Structure 1
Amino acid sequence: MNDPQQIEMFPTVLRLRRTDPEGAVRRFYLVTVQPDLFGGAALVAESGHVGSPGSTTTRFFPDEGLAVDALSEVAKRKVKQGYV
């Protein structure tokens, strides 16, 4: 059974959007965990206004588990800010 409401246990991709009822705020936030060249993992975050290219930041971690933990913390913070 594939439940679209089920949250993946250890997600490596996070896509969030934030809009207000009047449509004045339309932002996106995309975070991915990617392997790096040195056996670790990178947490790559892109954010900006919907419909335009965003800015990108990258944080490096010694392993994928730590990067996934960081992605989880980002998700919690962004949901508190109104992203869904």
Structure 2
Amino acid sequence: MARFYALSIEPNLFGGTSLVRSWGRIGSRGQQKIHVFDSELKAFDLLLTLLRRKHSRGYLLLR
């Protein structure tokens, strides 16, 4: 089954930073979860943790 998993760090309306996680089957809208942080560094730490976990499960890194 072809799946996707996307991560992005984005600014939010309240001056903080959000890590947006999207996943699902290719061709579908999928699901989304948003984590809100005070600093970009904390969001980046979670992004790296999730990248390592997904890469170990066989997901490929595309740019």
User: TM-score, length-normalised on structure 1?
Assistant: 0.68
Aligned residue number for residue 45 of structure 2: 69
> Identity of counterpart residues, as a percentage?
38
- The runs of 4+ residues in structure 1 deviating greater than 6 Å are none
Aligned residue number for residue 21 of structure 1: none
**Which segments of 5 or more consecutive residues in structure 1 lack a partner in the other structure?**
1-24
**Which whole-Å CA distance do the structure 2 matches of 1:50 and 1:33 have between them?**
21
Task: Identify, as 1 or 2, the structure richer in helix.
Answer: 2
Contact 1:39 1:63 in 2 (8 A): no
Q: How does 1:1-84 map to 2 (within 5 A)?
A: 25-84=1-60
**Which whole-Å CA distance do the structure 2 matches of 1:73 and 1:39 have between them?**
23
* SS of residue in 1 equivalent to 2:58: coil
Aligned-pair CA distance for 1:69:
1.2
Which residue type is aligned with residue 33 of structure 2?
T
User: Deviation string for 1:28-67 (max 9, x for gaps)?
Assistant: 0011000112221001111000111110000111111111
User: TM-score, length-normalised on structure 2?
Assistant: 0.88
Aligned residue number for residue 7 of structure 1: none
* SS of residue in 1 equivalent to 2:5: strand
Equivalent residues, number: 60
**Which segments of 5 or more consecutive residues in structure 2 lack a partner in the other structure?**
none
